[in-house]
Structure formats: C-alpha cells, structure tokens
Structure 1
Amino acid sequence: MINDKGEFGKVSKIRKKKIKKTNILLGFICILLAVLLGFILVTSYKSEQKESRHLSEIADDQQSGIEDYEAVKERAKELEEISSEEAEDTEDTKDTEKTDTADTEDADKTEDTKDKTTAASGIVCWGDDLINGEESNTYSYMTVLQKLLTDNGYNMTVINKTLQGGGTLSMMKMAGVSDETIQSYITKHQQAANGAQLNVTETGIRDLTEEQTTRNDMDCIPVIFMGYYGGWNHDPAELADQQEQILNTFQNKNQFIVVGTRPMDGSVTSEALDQVLSQKWGEHYISLADVTAQPSSTYEAQQAMAEAILQKLQELNYISKN
C-alpha cells in the first residue's frame, strides 16, 4: 500500500510539473499571441493611417482638379464674354461706319439737290394780272421785276403765266391740276351756297388756249399771286390749298414765293387773309398790305410788290449774280 502511495505521489508530482510546464507554455503562447495581435493592430493602424493619407491626397488632388476645372471654365467664360464684347464693338463700329457713310452720302445728295434746286432757269409769275392792256407792258409788277433783276446784275428771265380777270379754278386748270380735284372745289362751293347764286369764278372754268396750258416753266421759281378775283369761296384756308395745288406741279417745290392781297369784292380782310397764309407759307410769304397802302392795281403798288419780291428772292438765296 505504501508503495502504491509512493507511486501515486511520484505520478502526482510529475503531473504537476507537466501542468506547470503546460501553463508556462500556454502563458508564453498567450504572450506571443498578444504580441502578435499588438503587432497586427499596430500594422493595421499604420496601414489605415497610410491609406487615409493616400485617400486624403487623392481627395485633395480631385478637389484641386475641380478647382482648376472651375477656374478654367470661368476663364473660358470670361474669354467668351470678351470675344462677344469685341464682336459687338466691331459690329457697332461697322454700323457707325455705315451710318457715317450713309450720312456722307445723304449730305452729298442734299448738296447735289441743293445745287440742282438753285439752278432755276427763271422766275415765273402765276395768278392775277392786275393791270390790263398796254399799261401792263410798262407798269405791271412782272415788268418792273424784270427790270430790277437786270439792273442788279441777275441774269434771270421773268415768265408771265398770269390770267387776266380769271378765278383760281381757271388758274389750277391752266397749271394742269386734275379735273377731279377742281370739281371737288366746285361741289364744295355749291353745297355751301345751299342754292344761292354764286359768282361765275366760284363755279366756272375759263376756256383756255393751248398756249396757256402749255408748261414751259416747270424748273422756274414760282411767284404765286392769286385770289383777287375769287374762286376759293371766301375761305383763306381753301385759297392756301389751291395755291399748294399749283406749287405741286413744279420741280423745285422748296423754292417759291406767295404774295397775298385781299379779294376785289372785299369779302375777306387783309388781316384775316394774312393770318392764314403767313402761317401756311412762313418765310415764303409776302403780305401786300405790309408792303404798300395803295390799291394793288395802282402803279405804286405794282412797283412796291416787284421790289418786295426781289428782296425776298435775295433773302432766301434763290438768285445769284453770274
């Protein structure tokens, strides 16, 4: 029994030693495992840190690339705007050049027109001849005007297109105004009369010769003296309209003179006539009442009218000495 216990004791000691060694070994293994785990953790941490830095660098590069792209895009936009502005400036410059060219051409045309306008072949008197017979050859304003022009060195011929004792309707007919237009005035006069008897000059048109209706004065400067014998229904505005009808038959519509005197029957005063005609014709208008107090058919009035016409021709620069 003792031996068995002795053996058991030995076995127990041996087992304890083995257990102790095993525990030591396991402890050592645990330590190694702990060290290995620490190494792995440290390595993993370093790797993660490295990867994090790499990713951060990539992100920075991408951000930088985006910023560079945005900068390039913004610069491209600026260049596009500059190019657009330069194109607009170029277009404006072209437009300005075109405008300047057009203005120059217009100025040249205006100058050419002015030259053509001032090159009138003569002066033509339209309307009433207030002095009849042989006296007109010496004392009419047309005869006096011709003498004044010649004496003052103007080589201009005065043409007589007046109509003795004729109304304004006959004068328009002689100038070539359409029958339809003339008839419209006659109809208006008849309607205004409402059945009352009218003077023949308000409704009738004189028989005219071929010589009278032939126009050889289209490029002359017209002097319109009409209305003394009627034909305009005692309405100054209508008289102005009829004067314009005759003026429109001329080539140089900007060069003309209108002379106004009250009608022979006294149906319209000089003041009423002048108020309408001066407003209509402006600087082109001459009021005979402002020129002379004599009746228009007198020699004195004819002389005064001729002098006033010459002065107006000079003021408007219609004539020049050669």
Structure 2
Amino acid sequence: MSKIRKKKIKKTNILLGFICILLAVLLGFILVTSYKSEQKESRHLSEIADDQQSGIEDYEAVKERAKELEEVSSEEAEDTEDIKSKNTEDTKDTEKTDTADTEDTKDKTTAASGIVCWGDDLINGEESNTYSYMTVLQKLLTDNGYNMTVINKTLQGGGTLSMMKMAGVSDETIQSYITKHQQAANGAQLNVTETGIRDLTEEQTTRNDMDCIPVIFMGYYGGWNHDPAELADQQEQILNTFQNKDQFIVVGTRPMDGSVTSEALDQVLSQKWGEHYISLADVTAQPSSTYEAQQAMAEAILQKLQELNYISKN
C-alpha cells in the first residue's frame, strides 16, 4: 500500500474518531438535559398535585365557611327584620307624638315679652295718655285677662324713613329709597319726609322690643313716595328686625295728604300681608286721629291678636 494512501486512511480514522467523540459528547449532553427536564417536569407535576390537593382542601374549607356565613346572615336578617319592625313602630309613635305636639303648639302662643306699636302716634300731648290706640289696647288686654305689656315705639309726625332709621335698618337701604324718590321727582320739590331723616335720641334707637309682637301702623306722614308697594317694602324692613318674623300685625290707613286712597292702599297691603292685615277704613269711618278711630283700632288689634292665637290668658 502506498504511503499516500496510508496517510489518507489515517486522516480518515482520526476524523471518524473525532466525530465519534463529538457524538458521544452530544449524546451525553442530550441525556443530561433530558434528565434535568424530566426532573423539572416531575417537580412541576408534584406541585400541581399538591396545589390541587390544597385547592380541594381550601374549597371544602370555603364551603364550610360559606355555610357558616349563610347561617349567620340568616340570623342577622331575622334580627334586622325585628329591628326594622321595631323602628317602624317607634317612628309611628314618634309621628303621633309630633302630631300631638304640633296640635298643642297651634293652640299655644309663642312666648313674647309684650306687644310693641311701631309707626305713627296720631294724638298729641296728654290726650295720648288716655285716648291713643296703644293706651286703649293696654286697657283692653288687662280687662280681658291678658298679662301683656304694650310698648310705645311710635314717632310723632315722623316719616317712614325716620322710622326705619329708628328700627336699625341700614343707612345704605334707607338712602336707596331717598335716591329713588329724588329720581322720580325729576327736580321737583319734595316733602321733607320723602328725603329727610329726623335726628333721633339714643333712647329712641335703643331696641328693647325685638322679642315682642309688632303692630305696624305707619305711612300717615309719608316717606314712601305715594307708592303702596314701597310702603309694604318699608314695613317689611322693620319687621325683619324682630326675632319672630311670623307673628305681627299691620294696620293701614290712607296718608294725611290724601295722595293715595284707602282702596288703593288696602288692595296692595292686604295682598302683601294677608290675614295679618287690618284696614282702618273697614274698621271705622272716622278720621284716624279721632278718639273713636283710636278706640276702634285698639279693638280691631285685640280681635286680630285673638284670631291669630298670639296671646293667651295662661
């Protein structure tokens, strides 16, 4: 055999041997990898089995817990129904009590320290001590067994602007009325009560009547630009200064200068104040400054106080 051929055979054998070694290494790697994979899969299957077993146990525990909760919920539902039933009965009893209290309240007068008359005093001097509607009203209350004091907060000859000032209505609000009067006059001369405010004493502006029942009699001397709607608004400004805004009486009479008729005044004020309103024109045909008119007004005020259940003999 030639040397060349021997060399080729030797090289081939070396190559084959090298290939065999590679195949052996590859096979070993495959076997090791397969073994690890099997081990990993085995562990995974074992974990799944454990989880399934745990899941079964948890499921059984959950079922048992759900059963317990269902029993508790059933008991709580029964308790809730009992509570609801009891609350319903209590509510009905409370409603009955509240209704009874409401009915009692309707028959009882809200506590008031007295009756206060705001506005115009139409009788001067000593005559007012005997014949004014305030003096007559006090006598009527006493004679009829009502322990109520009548307070005088009238302003002789004063306009409604001064009355609002005395009640504590803000200067800004009062000025707005004055400005409106001046604009409506368009340069014409106005009565002093339409633009002026009287100088008031500390005694006049001190309020000791805010828990009283107000009787508002104002407008005779002007100050409201001959507009009944504005007069009603000014009356409301004074009423708003009182603690109890639900108990009050408004008495209406036409102004001294005759600029507004009793009919026009009553139409606006009666609509504004409803059952709280007394029209002096419906009470007497006498001029408001007469003794007869003052007596009639006092009697009408007493009747209205009784009708509205503002006063009690208890």
| TM-score w.r.t. length of structure 1 | 0.67
Give the equivalent residue in structure 1 for 2:95: 97
CA distance in 1, matches of 2:65, 2:277: 69
Shift of residue 235, structure 1, vs aligned partner: 0.4
- When residues 50 and 114 of structure 1 are mapped into structure 2, their CA distance, relative to the original with a 3 A threshold, is closer
CA contact (8 A) 1:168 1:232 kept: yes
CA distance in 2, matches of 1:202, 1:54: 103
CA distance in 2, matches of 1:174, 1:29: 124
- When residues 273 and 57 of structure 1 are mapped into structure 2, their CA distance, relative to the original with a 3 A threshold, is same
- When residues 48 and 139 of structure 1 are mapped into structure 2, their CA distance, relative to the original with a 3 A threshold, is closer
- When residues 156 and 35 of structure 1 are mapped into structure 2, their CA distance, relative to the original with a 3 A threshold, is closer
- When residues 85 and 94 of structure 1 are mapped into structure 2, their CA distance, relative to the original with a 3 A threshold, is farther
CA contact (8 A) 1:172 1:246 kept: yes
Residues 51-109 of structure 1 deviation map (CA, whole Å, 9 limit, x = unaligned): 999999999999999999999999999999999999999799999999999999xxxxx
CA distance in 2, matches of 1:226, 1:137: 20
Shift of residue 174, structure 1, vs aligned partner: 0.2
1:118 equivalent among 103, 110, 123: 110
Give the equivalent residue in structure 2 for 1:36: 26
CA distance in 2, matches of 1:216, 1:47: 102
1:50 alignment partner, SS class = helix
CA distance in 1, matches of 2:4, 2:253: 165
CA contact (8 A) 1:117 1:255 kept: no
2:140 alignment partner, SS class = helix
1:118 alignment partner, SS class = coil
Shift of residue 257, structure 1, vs aligned partner: 0.2
Between stretches 186-195 and 67-76, larger displacement belongs to 67-76
2:133 paired with 1:141? yes
Q: Which runs of 5+ in 2 are unaligned?
A: 81-88
Residues 135-180 of structure 1 deviation map (CA, whole Å, 9 limit, x = unaligned): 1010000000000000000010000000000000000000000000
Between stretches 86-95 and 312-321, larger displacement belongs to 86-95
- When residues 27 and 263 of structure 1 are mapped into structure 2, their CA distance, relative to the original with a 3 A threshold, is closer
CA distance in 1, matches of 2:196, 2:150: 29
CA distance in 2, matches of 1:227, 1:156: 26
Shift of residue 27, structure 1, vs aligned partner: 62
Shift of residue 287, structure 1, vs aligned partner: 0.3
1:161 alignment partner, SS class = strand
CA distance in 1, matches of 2:11, 2:171: 149
CA distance in 1, matches of 2:17, 2:210: 138
CA contact (8 A) 1:117 1:252 kept: no
CA distance in 2, matches of 1:27, 1:192: 129
- When residues 35 and 125 of structure 1 are mapped into structure 2, their CA distance, relative to the original with a 3 A threshold, is closer
CA contact (8 A) 2:211 2:243 kept: yes
- When residues 148 and 48 of structure 1 are mapped into structure 2, their CA distance, relative to the original with a 3 A threshold, is closer
Rg larger in structure: 1
- When residues 171 and 23 of structure 1 are mapped into structure 2, their CA distance, relative to the original with a 3 A threshold, is closer
Shift of residue 118, structure 1, vs aligned partner: 1.3
Give the equivalent residue in structure 2 for 1:321: 313
2:75 equivalent among 81, 85, 100: 85
Shift of residue 29, structure 1, vs aligned partner: 57
Q: Which runs of 5+ in 1 are unaligned?
A: 1-10, 105-110
Between stretches 195-204 and 64-73, larger displacement belongs to 64-73
- When residues 230 and 77 of structure 1 are mapped into structure 2, their CA distance, relative to the original with a 3 A threshold, is farther
Counting matched residue pairs gives: 306
CA contact (8 A) 1:153 1:321 kept: yes
CA contact (8 A) 1:226 1:260 kept: yes
Shift of residue 292, structure 1, vs aligned partner: 0.3
CA distance in 2, matches of 1:32, 1:202: 125
CA contact (8 A) 2:108 2:312 kept: no
Q: CA RMSD in A?
A: 10.5
- When residues 22 and 292 of structure 1 are mapped into structure 2, their CA distance, relative to the original with a 3 A threshold, is closer
CA contact (8 A) 2:133 2:294 kept: yes
Residues 111-132 of structure 1 deviation map (CA, whole Å, 9 limit, x = unaligned): 9998997110000000000001
- When residues 75 and 93 of structure 1 are mapped into structure 2, their CA distance, relative to the original with a 3 A threshold, is farther
Between stretches 79-88 and 285-294, larger displacement belongs to 79-88
CA distance in 2, matches of 1:12, 1:205: 150
- When residues 195 and 31 of structure 1 are mapped into structure 2, their CA distance, relative to the original with a 3 A threshold, is closer
CA distance in 1, matches of 2:25, 2:110: 121
CA contact (8 A) 2:109 2:309 kept: no
Residues 181-216 of structure 1 deviation map (CA, whole Å, 9 limit, x = unaligned): 000000000001111100000000000000000001
1:243 alignment partner, SS class = helix
CA distance in 2, matches of 1:277, 1:140: 23
